[in-house]
Amino acid sequence: LAKTTQPISMDSYEGQEVNITCSHNNIATNDYITWYQQFPSQGPRFIIQGYKTKVTNEVASLFIPADRKSSTLSLPRVSLSDTAVYYCLVGAEAAGNKLTFGGGTRVLVKP
Amino acid sequence: DTEVTQTPKHLVMGMTNKKSLKCEQHMGHRAMYWYKQKAKKPPELMFVYSYEKLSINESVPSRFSPECPNSSLLNLHLHALQPEDSALYLCASSQDFQGAGSRTEAFFGQGTRLTVV
């Protein structure tokens, strides 16, 4: 299983862009990269998934360099409601057979 | 309907009690999961069901007993729990039981906050 490493926490201010980088040095050729968001006392929520280059949806963007050994989740113009824990999952961890979470990044958005 | 519904939302039980947590989804998903989450920790996988059969048990103590009566329902039966079992119990589902590298979006319920006294 590809192991992921993320910063434990990040602080930001309303209106700023937040970028969270996840390292996954032993990512396998077929592995996808998936990000989840979790608010306190709620279940995680799927944000975005990608394989290479860039993926964008209405919530976030995901940047994946050519070597795929890392990925960056970008949250544009954050608001207080984006305060949450963000988890990066890779490959077999994100596959339906074993959805295994790493440590996650606790993002605090300040006014 | 993209909801996973868990009941009850809160549960307080004694160490000698028997209780059950319930989870329901109507998205036609064939993989369902139980997770345990302690405060400020990531969710820990407990069990995975695929096509109503138990496919993964992450060495969970036998005081936790999962059951999948049909493709829409998942239960977690609790018996003789310890105070350290107090946690948020999350249920999730995904479309299929897929191998490594597949694209999977899992949907989570709101969880059951369990307190063992």
pLDDT in tens, B52-108: 999 889 999 999 999 999 999 999 999 999 999 999 999 999 886 554 445 668 899
Helix (H) or strand (E) holding A79, with range, is none
Burial class (CB in 10 A: 0-12, 13-18, 19+), B53: exposed
Chain position carrying tokens 């103590």: B61
Mean confidence (pLDDT) of chain A: 90
Per-residue pLDDT, averaged over A70-96, amounts to: 86
Residue of chain A whose alpha carbon sits nearest to that of B100: A92
Tell me which residue in B42, B107, B113 faces A101 most closely, judged by beta carbons: B42
CA distance A51 to chain B (A): 9
Q: What is the C-alpha to C-alpha distance for residues B87 and B34, in angstroms, rounded to an integer?
A: 12
Cβ separation of A30 and B100 shorter than 8 Å?
yes
Per-residue pLDDT, averaged over B25-40, amounts to: 93
Tell me which residue in B50, B92, B105 faces A43 most closely, judged by beta carbons: B92
Please spell the DSSP secondary structure of A15-71, one letter per residue.
T--EEEEEE-TT--TT--EEEEEE-TTS--EEEEEESSEEEE-SS-EEEE-TT-SEE
- The fraction of chain A above a pLDDT of 90, given in percent, is 68
Cβ separation of B101 and A95 shorter than 8 Å?
yes
Tell me which residue in A28, A43, A102 faces B109 most closely, judged by beta carbons: A43
Burial class (CB in 10 A: 0-12, 13-18, 19+), A66: exposed
Chain B CB contacts of A42 below 8 Å: 108, 110-111
Report the pLDDT value the prediction gives residue B98, as an integer from 0 to 100: 52
**Which of A49, A83, A63, A92 has its CA nearest to residue B98?**
A92
